[in-house]
Amino acid sequence: MERKRAIRRVGFVVLAANVLLVAGKAGVWWTTGSLALGSEAVNSLADAVYSTIILGGLYLTTKPPDWEHPHGHERIEPFISLFVAVGIFAAGGAILWQSTSSILAGTYGGDAGTLGVVVLVVAAAAKYVLYRYCYSVGREQNSPALVAAGVDNRNDILTAGAALVGVVGGQFGYPILDPLAAMVVSIGIVYTGYEIVRDNVNYLVGAAPPEYLRALIVQTALSHPDVYGAHDVVAHYVGPEIDVSLHIEVEGDMTIAEAHDIETWVVQAIRNIDEVDDVFVHIDPKELGEWKEDDETERYTMFSPDGGDDR
């Protein structure tokens, strides 16, 4: 319930902020004709559109599990993020075409003046706040869609800075800086789309999680005093969450109830890792000869959080 409220709250805040930024930037563009402000208005409009898509998608992802979706609806989030990327690519391409055409034709936009400078400075400050807000909540709640929105807001700070250079350059007698700034903005927008696609494709194709998470899974399983080893550890993304399967090695002289208690403990301990959704554990008694060396598991037992190992 808390995750649902947190994610939806961020969605509403981002949408409202982007609508206000569209109004401010478009107003200055309409009165001055500045291409840099126009490109920023298009950028914020794209942000507002995909914020609406995110908000609708987050409503679906935060619905509780049901008969047809027993693991919940979180796995739709990478698809939402890809919709975000499509909108970003479209906005970036449109701005790049407009700015390139302007430079080739030698027709530059108007001077946005002091008002344009103020709007862009306010926009950059607002985008920084949104970046920190979206990114921190996205990481805390394990939401790829919010992380994608955070990355987009981070890059919007840079594009607002580029637009500001164009506006100031126009005021000092260098009007070509206006379409050049718009071109820089478009490149930043397209790169944002690339980052979002790159990150979310891994969720969709079932890629392995980062090494530190794989190490944490192994170390958690081995932290039970009656687990003497682990092998055939497989962890992969199913949507934004991780499914885990592994074999644990125990002595064979215990009762079924004792073995079951160990398995339950290991499953629950690994599930307590925030990013993990489901865990499947197979118990290998020593007497069956199924204990085996696993170089990767051995390496993970020595792995430290800083990305190295303790040896």
For the sheet with 276-285, list strands across it.
Answer: 229-238, 241-250, 276-285
pLDDT value at 255 more than 80: yes
- State percent of the chain over pLDDT 90: 18
**How far, rounded to the nearest angstrom, does the alpha carbon of residue 267 sit from its chain's CA centroid?**
27
Domain boundaries, the chain: 1-204, 209-300
SS3 track for the chain: CHHHHHHHHHHHHHHHHHHHHHHHHHHHHHHHCCHHHHHHHHHHHHHHHHHHHHHHHHHHHCCCCCCCCCCCCHHHHHHHHHHHHHHHHHHHHHHHHHHHHHHHHCCCCCCCHHHHHHHHHHHHHHHHHHHHHHHHHHHHCCCHHHHHHHHHHHHHHHHHHHHHHHHHHHHCCCCCHHHHHHHHHHHHHHHHHHHHHHHHHHHHCCCCCCHHHHHHHHHHHHCCCCCCEEEEEEEEEECCEEEEEEEEEECCCCCHHHHHHHHHHHHHHHHCCCCEEEEEEEEEEHHHCCCCCCHHHHHHHCECCCCCECC
- Whether 1-204 shares its CATH topology with 209-300 is answered no
Name which residue leads in pLDDT, 60 or 277: 277
Mean pLDDT of 115-120: 84
Question: Residue 172 to residues 117, 245, 304: CA-CA distances in angstroms?
Answer: 13, 64, 54
Give the model confidence (pLDDT) of 166-225 as tens digits: 778 777 777 787 778 778 778 877 887 887 788 788 888 888 888 888 999 999 999 999
Second CATH level (architecture) for the domain 209-300:
2-Layer Sandwich (3.30)
Q: Among 222, 294, 296, which Cα is nearest to 262's?
A: 222
pLDDT value at 310 more than 50: no
pLDDT value at 286 more than 50: yes
pTM: predicted TM-score of the whole model, two decimal places: 0.62
Residue 107 pLDDT level (bands cut at 50, 70, 90)? low
CATH classification code of 1-204: 1.20.1510.10
Least-confidence region, from 95-109, 185-199, 259-273: 95-109
Contact 222, 266 (CB under 8 A): no
Query: What pLDDT does 227 receive?
Result: 92
